Structure 1
């Protein structure tokens, strides 16, 4: 089998992501970025962002994120983004989903991870210290990530893979960076592109690459959101200052594509839309594990449909960014992504008719 051609290494990692996204968009058969939809979405999104006064300050306003921008926050961000993947639940009933309650509030999805990390810190577990998590036992980590009611609720999805990821990244930090991610940040010399490159080079679990039509494509969702979270936490100052932060693309996951469809900036073919709707039903009924499209079920990581959804999402947000810039406003892909993710989570009723793609993997 021939080796997939790589994109030019003379370009930075974020540039290669953008090139990958454009290539995917140009050759997609079932996912589309409509010109008219982009223009309308850009106008609506920037109007809403201005109305809400949306900025990097939103990051620290979330209850569970660090409120102080310091070295401890950077280590917290690294652990969370190392584990920031696959939170969708196959359980239709919320009472059966993986849940972590903190301060009397139950959290599910991505926020359940943040709540579990914060709960562990309150219980005296040094969960953000590499010397601990690099060699923590399965029993210790099962306790850290326990659900509220194990007899009734599912466990955290992909728990085995999360434990493996923690061991991997912790050992790399101890071996190469004195056990602290802040040392990686400092070595990037205030370059977001360099930091992404270092992360995907030294931490294998962040290498979000696939093959599409014989070409190696790079998406790097977690590596880029890691940089973006550090930048947002520090509001672009101190250790969170990156002189080239605007090179970062959006973070191709489940919810932002859903929001892009809602705003008309992304379209699926009738065949793909029907597959996604049937797959949601099949997975919730306990079917579809191991099914191969077009048979409804889990969509394999790297399948052309999955790559088309993620690649076109990146390209759609880039097109939206360009449209907003042409109107005279200054907003990067990070803030557009953050806003759309927050919007999707805050308006589930608006998103109800738009299915997400159900892929289980460590990349997002």
Structure 2
């Protein structure tokens, strides 16, 4: 994949996801990144982030996230991001997959957190690789029970989730002595080495496609796995990575929806019509890849503009650290807490990758 650019940050990046994002954006036919939208959105996002004092500490403030960072927490995060995909539903309101947990109705990503937390509280060690790798410990039917819904709809792609659990458990037992902690240690504090280890050993994380005859990589779940560990451990201990700023945003369906609402990306009339009619976009199709790839590069551009604002702002200490991870987390929170954004068109793809 050739990159015709004088962008030094891009050329020096070790992350193939960033280079793929740039390549996709430059070859995109139906998705456009707006320079004016980048500038306007950077202003509003920066002001909101300052008010919330957004940082890695925000990760633990979410009700369903672990509050203690230890090796068991790594098991929890690994299971969550192993299954962190395809939560959108064709049903609305009370009919969609949801979990009633601690008096609250949890949907989307939070329904997965609730499922795992509920199982642990019920005495099922669902995050322990030696347990979930073996059908003699927990059968497929038992796993289905773990994911039981509080509505009539089961979690999307449940069979695929079970397959991911079995595959990952087997790999962890055979190659990493039954713990993802050993995979982290093998990376020697390099998130890029860890990214490669994840992609090389766990097939369900291999989020790749072809555009214009070239392979492009998006690696949403592999990157968010690293990011969640970094944020949970506040960049210390098992969460210390000297190259963490190499990680890009995590190309899903919710952040592009927010970027569209902010005027950062726009769609052709044909694509917008497809999104408005909830047309299914196959995983790896050109339109889907364009939406995800342009989102990666758009967040990179947003990050650069906001970083300049921080350097010029006397109140820069209000945001102690800014990288694509922090920016993605903030935009995702912003989207999921805003009904106006959630009601906008978004691309629908059934995939284990996001």
Question: TM-score, length-normalised on structure 1?
Answer: 0.89
Q: Which residue is equivalent to 1:346?
A: 337
Counterparts of 1:258-269 in structure 2, within 5 Å, are 258-269=257-268
Counterparts of 1:109-258 in structure 2, within 5 Å, are 109-135=108-134, 136-149=138-151, 153-258=152-257
- Deviation of 1:133 after TM superposition, in Å, equals 1.1
Matched, 1:273 2:275: no
Local SS of the residue matching 1:217 = strand
Local SS of the residue matching 2:90 = coil
Local SS of the residue matching 1:222 = helix
Cα distance in structure 1, aligned partners of 2:349 and 2:341: 22
Deviations 1:1-20 (A, max 9, x none): xxxx699xxx9996211111
Give the root-mean-square deviation of aligned CA atoms.
Answer: 1.6
Matched, 1:355 2:345: yes
Cα distance in structure 1, aligned partners of 2:125 and 2:113: 14
Change beyond 3 A, Cα 1:12–1:123: farther
Q: Which runs of 4+ in 1 moved over 4 A?
A: 11-14
- Deviation of 1:356 after TM superposition, in Å, equals 0.8
- Deviation of 1:39 after TM superposition, in Å, equals 1.2
Change beyond 3 A, Cα 1:187–1:180: same
Local SS of the residue matching 2:277 = helix
Change beyond 3 A, Cα 1:84–1:12: farther
Is the CA contact (8 Å cut-off) linking 2:13 and 2:246 kept in structure 1? no
Is the CA contact (8 Å cut-off) linking 1:208 and 1:218 kept in structure 2? yes
Deviations 1:83-106 (A, max 9, x none): 0000001102x2111111111111
Matched, 1:60 2:60: yes
Local SS of the residue matching 1:32 = strand
Counterparts of 1:31-42 in structure 2, within 5 Å, are 31-42=31-42
Is the CA contact (8 Å cut-off) linking 2:281 and 2:288 kept in structure 1? yes
Cα distance in structure 1, aligned partners of 2:14 and 2:101: 36
Structure 2 unmatched runs, 5+:
4-10
Q: Which residue is equivalent to 2:18?
A: 18
Q: More displaced, 11-20 or 71-80? A: 11-20
Figure out how many residues of one structure are paired with residues of the other and give that number.
335
Is the CA contact (8 Å cut-off) linking 1:12 and 1:197 kept in structure 2? no
Change beyond 3 A, Cα 1:186–1:342: same
Cα distance in structure 2, aligned partners of 1:146 and 1:350: 29
Is the CA contact (8 Å cut-off) linking 1:173 and 1:180 kept in structure 2? yes
- Deviation of 1:241 after TM superposition, in Å, equals 0.7
- Deviation of 1:326 after TM superposition, in Å, equals 2.4
Counterparts of 1:244-323 in structure 2, within 5 Å, are 244-279=243-278, 297-323=279-305
Cα distance in structure 2, aligned partners of 1:34 and 1:52: 26
Local SS of the residue matching 2:15 = helix
Change beyond 3 A, Cα 1:47–1:110: same
Local SS of the residue matching 1:216 = strand
- Deviation of 1:350 after TM superposition, in Å, equals 3.9
Cα distance in structure 1, aligned partners of 2:127 and 2:77: 9
Local SS of the residue matching 1:210 = strand
Cα distance in structure 1, aligned partners of 2:15 and 2:120: 37
Structure 1 unmatched runs, 5+:
280-296
Deviations 1:88-135 (A, max 9, x none): 01102x211111111111111111111000000011001011111112
Cα distance in structure 1, aligned partners of 2:329 and 2:258: 11
Question: TM-score, length-normalised on structure 2?
Answer: 0.92
Local SS of the residue matching 1:101 = strand
Is the CA contact (8 Å cut-off) linking 2:258 and 2:341 kept in structure 1? no
Q: Which residue is equivalent to 1:337?
A: 328
Change beyond 3 A, Cα 1:239–1:30: same
